[in-house]
Amino acid sequence: MERPDDFTLFAEYHLGILSDGTAKFQNVGDIARLHHASVQEVQAWLAEHQIDPTTADDTDYDLPGQHAEAQVLAMLGDAAATLEFARQVYAEYRARLGHKRIRTFEDDDDKTVSDKVEISDVPTHRKR
């Protein structure tokens, strides 16, 4: 089998989308078997195209959210729409390369007191 292109690898690895537009969870071992390659070869391909896990995790782009969207589209059965969405996601991801993800805890600080439950507010179960 011929080596897959970068889009195909991205769709398979990050979005769980096969070339026919269907959804299937795939880890690096699954992709290696699919393309008759070793895990090390697939890891090298991913790194070469900057779609390896480390680069993707460090890039300011919501791949987990896009993965979920792609899975829903695939479950709806419109292969063409799923593949079109996957191509759009890949283009957006490529555009964000070099933009480092900045991790903060700001989201935790914007909750009001009413959003939080204090341990003293939790009912206790007493033995009778």
- Decide if 14 is inside a domain: yes
Which residue, 84, 62, 94, is CA-closest to 17? 84
Cα distance between residue 109 and residue 104, in whole Å: 10
Cα distance between residue 18 and residue 1, in whole Å: 15
Cβ count within 10 A of residue 19: 15
Q: Check: CB of residue 23 under 8 Å from CB of residue 17.
A: yes
- Decide if 45 is inside a domain: yes
Per-residue pLDDT of the chain (128 residues; tens, 9 = 90+): 679 999 999 999 999 999 999 999 999 999 999 999 999 999 999 999 999 999 999 999 999 999 999 999 999 999 999 999 999 999 999 999 888 887 676 655 555 544 444 445 445 555 55
Please state the φ and ψ torsions of residue 17, each to the nearest 5 degrees.
-115, 125
pLDDT at 2: 79
- Decide if 36 is inside a domain: yes
Please state the φ and ψ torsions of residue 50, each to the nearest 5 degrees.
60, 40
- Decide if 114 is inside a domain: no
Question: Which residue range forms the structural domain that includes residue 68?
Answer: 6-109
pLDDT at 40: 97
- Decide if 127 is inside a domain: no
User: Which residues are registered as beta bridge partners of 59?
Assistant: 100
For the chain, state the CA radius of gyration: 20
- Decide if 128 is inside a domain: no
Cα distance between residue 84 and residue 104, in whole Å: 33
Cα distance between residue 97 and residue 11, in whole Å: 16
- Decide if 100 is inside a domain: yes
- Tally of domains in the chain: 1
- Decide if 125 is inside a domain: no
pLDDT at 119: 47
